[in-house]
Structure 1
Amino acid sequence: MRNMKLKFVFFTALMGLFLLTGCETNMVVFEPEGPVARSITELINWSLFWMLLVVVVVFGLFGYIVWKYREKPENMDYEPPEEHGSTLLEIIWTGIPILIVIALTIPTVTTLYDLDDVPNGYENKEPITIHVTAADWKWIFSYPDQGIETVNYVNIPEDTPIDFKLTSASTMQSFWVPALGGQKYAMGKMETQMYLIADNPGSYFGRNSNFNGRGYTDMEFEVLAQTQEDFEKWIIDVKKTAPTLTESKYEELLKPTHLGRLTFTGTHLVWVNHAKRDSKTYTNPELYRYHGYQGKTFEEEDNYKNNTSQDDKQHDDHVEQQHNVEDKDGGDQHHGH
């Protein structure tokens, strides 16, 4: 019995050491690049402190009790008397978890409510509004004030509040830029909202963090924080060079495909706002079977020049190949969504 207990303690300590040495240190959420992300990181660190305290105390008491009350030659036949127990100890080990929950709840609730507003220190700075539409399998960003729409990337000025208004043209998806803030859901015929700020110019990775299924795992985008001067130059350049977004082109974008980065003048908000309950529903269930086309999401050196001709050709070739396979197999082959 004694050897079994000691082996269990040794095994537990060994597993803990293995997990600690196996953890990577390059976790983006612990390297915040904006005030929103810093608030979340501070909350995570506060929670980790209490978790570590609980683990140390529990494992410390566990090891002490196993050692102190282990079976020894002099107590082989010892039978402890039946006792009522200690009322004081029961109050202590009931009260401590309650206090820990309170210590975690108060800062969590406070932080969550603070994140709904413009971060402290930026109240007098005019935010830029960007509408985010999740689609199959891409992210569409609309700048209503600038008259610009982008796909799979979004440019923002540094040190400026960005008011993201989130919705979806299809399923519920999750908008997440780990270096700048936490995730928030984008849902069809609804609108959620979040503020993000980038302290300095830089490129930040974003993605859909919801478990939607095949096709959605590659829904990635870039948030490029620029100086105010570069951001304004980008707007001017887009207005000079980007094609105009038409309603038919937008409906084509909503089809389930992986696309590269696209840029347009004008926004789809002129025809449809997916956040409104009476908005038109765009679904293409018959196209879900053809989703092997991966596109070139991050291969273009210039992140805002359109390059769709080759992508469209690859997509058409892929669909034609799928049809040929189905015809050869009697039409029974089906790549499920």
Structure 2
Amino acid sequence: MSKSSLSLPARTKHLLLVPLLLLCAACQGEVLNPAGDIARQQRDIIYISTGLMLLIIIPVMILIVVFAWRYRKGKGGTYDPNFDHSTALELVIWSAPLLIIIMLGALTWSSTHLLDPFRPLDRISGGKDAQKPVGEPLRVQVVSMDWKWLFIYPEQGVATVNELVLPVDRQVRFDITSTNMMNTFYAPTLAGMIYAMPGMRSTLHAVLNKPGTYEGLSANYSGAGFSDMRFKLHGVDQAGFDRWVAGARGSGKALDLATYRQLEKPSEKVPAMRFAATDGDLFRRILERCVEPGTKCMSEIMAHDRRGGGDPHDMRPGAGMPGRASQPPHGHKPEGAIFKSPSEKGSGPNVTKPADPNKASGTTRPGAPENRNMTAIHPVLAPLAGRDAAA
């Protein structure tokens, strides 16, 4: 077979590159191309951590090749069979990783506190704008639903579905919760991932420094519509934000409790929606899981519990713990039996003693065959035992 018959045509070689190009096309660089100061600091942490770890990885990879070449068979270096220790070598081997671990630990500790999502921002951006006043944050309430995102602007009185519009260079405070299951609110160009959990409120402080259109998504698998649970993040100037709010108010649709209950039903690939007005108490009712009519909010149940509890639907003070109508009145807490004398405790029937002493199956003599008789515990074995005895 000739060598030319084994070579592939040039067109075929080019076709082999298509899968590689498609794979590269699927890669996205939002994490390494941030549009906000928090995301930029998180990107820098990735760069610094990677660089510190490469200080160990690169020398190790180089030394593997050097050792393999230097000590190859027949051409290797000097072999010393009596070598067992080198102080200088031990210092290099242990000191370099130890220093890198210390630096990574210091970086982790400082960034954990400085980039705490609950912590308000102390700057709008780095560089020349670092001293720019932060100002009051814009409040946005985020609700993870099946399978869409609801954004409520309580100060502007508008709401959106799968559309988040933010003014650039203004601090934003996100209050995040979920209606049904645990999820993750993630806008890679804005900040890191924050969990959304039913009955709990998470907080994220962030800022967007560059205008543009970016993508946000759910980063925690939550069912059938998870893949399309995405939203558009638009960064605009303050004038553009004011025009957008005015346009949302002109949509004419109101997000009241009845509309929300319809919106809460699972749905996939939901287009962007805008609501002109919202119920001012909606986010609290979602958080406290009392949107449905007749459902008690968690704050009411806890306040009732502090007053003494009782029937969950009975709000009278001093009614006892929920589900325990027999709770004694206040001031008459029962005393535990451990604090009582034997005469006060009394006695009851010994449930471990056989009802009929004549049918006791055990004996106090160690090794007695009666102690192996399990018919009292497993009566189903008794017929077998009687048949064996008759045989």
2:143 aligned to 133, 142, 150, which one? Answer: 133
State the secondary structure of the residue aligned to 1:41.
helix
Instruction: Provide Cα deviations, 1:55-87, integer angstroms capped at 9, x if missing partner.
Output: 211101111111111111789xx9863543334
Q: CA distance change for structure 1 residues 280 and 241 in 2, over 3 Å: closer, same or farther?
A: closer
Question: Quick check: 1:40 aligned with 2:42?
Answer: yes
Most deviating of 202-211 and 87-96 = 87-96
Gaps of 5+ in 1: 1-17, 283-337
Residue equivalent to 1:289: none
State the secondary structure of the residue aligned to 1:178.
coil
Instruction: Provide Cα deviations, 1:151-171, integer angstroms capped at 9, x if missing partner.
Output: 001111111111111111121
Q: CA distance change for structure 1 residues 117 and 105 in 2, over 3 Å: closer, same or farther?
A: farther
- What pairs with 1:59-208 in structure 2 (closer than 5 Å)? 59-72=61-74, 81=81, 83-115=83-115, 116-120=119-123, 121=131, 123-208=133-218
Give the ranges of 4+ consecutive aligned residues of structure 1 lying more than 6 Å apart after TM superposition: 21-25
Equivalent residues of 1:184, 1:192 under 8 A apart: yes
CA distance in 2, matches of 1:24, 1:54: 31
Instruction: Provide Cα deviations, 1:154-207, integer angstroms capped at 9, x if missing partner.
Output: 111111111111111121111111112211111111111112212132111110
CA distance in 2, matches of 1:74, 1:200: 58
State the secondary structure of the residue aligned to 2:81.
coil
CA distance in 2, matches of 1:180, 1:108: 20
Equivalent residues of 1:129, 1:143 under 8 A apart: yes
Instruction: Provide Cα deviations, 1:227-284, integer angstroms capped at 9, x if missing partner.
Output: 11111122122222231112121011111102111111333552452674565589xx
Q: CA distance change for structure 1 residues 196 and 27 in 2, over 3 Å: closer, same or farther?
A: same
CA distance in 1, matches of 2:74, 2:249: 84
Residue equivalent to 1:216: 226
CA distance in 1, matches of 2:69, 2:234: 57
Note the aligned Cα RMSD (angstroms). 2.9
State the secondary structure of the residue aligned to 1:241.
coil
Equivalent residues of 1:189, 1:274 under 8 A apart: no
Residue equivalent to 1:257: 267
Q: CA distance change for structure 1 residues 28 and 144 in 2, over 3 Å: closer, same or farther?
A: same
Equivalent residues of 2:251, 2:274 under 8 A apart: no
Q: CA distance change for structure 1 residues 87 and 239 in 2, over 3 Å: closer, same or farther?
A: same
Most deviating of 208-217 and 250-259 = 208-217
Equivalent residues of 2:143, 2:151 under 8 A apart: yes
CA distance in 2, matches of 1:106, 1:222: 36
State the secondary structure of the residue aligned to 1:217.
helix
Q: CA distance change for structure 1 residues 50 and 125 in 2, over 3 Å: closer, same or farther?
A: same
State the secondary structure of the residue aligned to 1:93.
helix
State the secondary structure of the residue aligned to 2:140.
strand
State the secondary structure of the residue aligned to 1:48.
helix
CA distance in 2, matches of 1:74, 1:239: 80
Aligned partner letter, 1:44? I
State the secondary structure of the residue aligned to 1:99.
helix
Equivalent residues of 2:257, 2:291 under 8 A apart: no
Q: CA distance change for structure 1 residues 64 and 213 in 2, over 3 Å: closer, same or farther?
A: farther
Q: CA distance change for structure 1 residues 86 and 23 in 2, over 3 Å: closer, same or farther?
A: farther
Give the TM-score normalised by structure 2: 0.60
Equivalent residues of 1:158, 1:199 under 8 A apart: yes
Aligned partner letter, 2:74? K
Q: CA distance change for structure 1 residues 272 and 41 in 2, over 3 Å: closer, same or farther?
A: closer
Q: CA distance change for structure 1 residues 211 and 95 in 2, over 3 Å: closer, same or farther?
A: farther
Displacement of 1:108 in angstroms is 2.7
Aligned partner letter, 1:97? P
Query: Which structure carries more relative contact order (alpha carbon 8 Å, separation 6+)?
Result: 1
Q: CA distance change for structure 1 residues 34 and 272 in 2, over 3 Å: closer, same or farther?
A: closer
Aligned residues: 261
Max Rg structure = 2
Displacement of 1:119 in angstroms is 4.2
Most deviating of 115-124 and 153-162 = 115-124
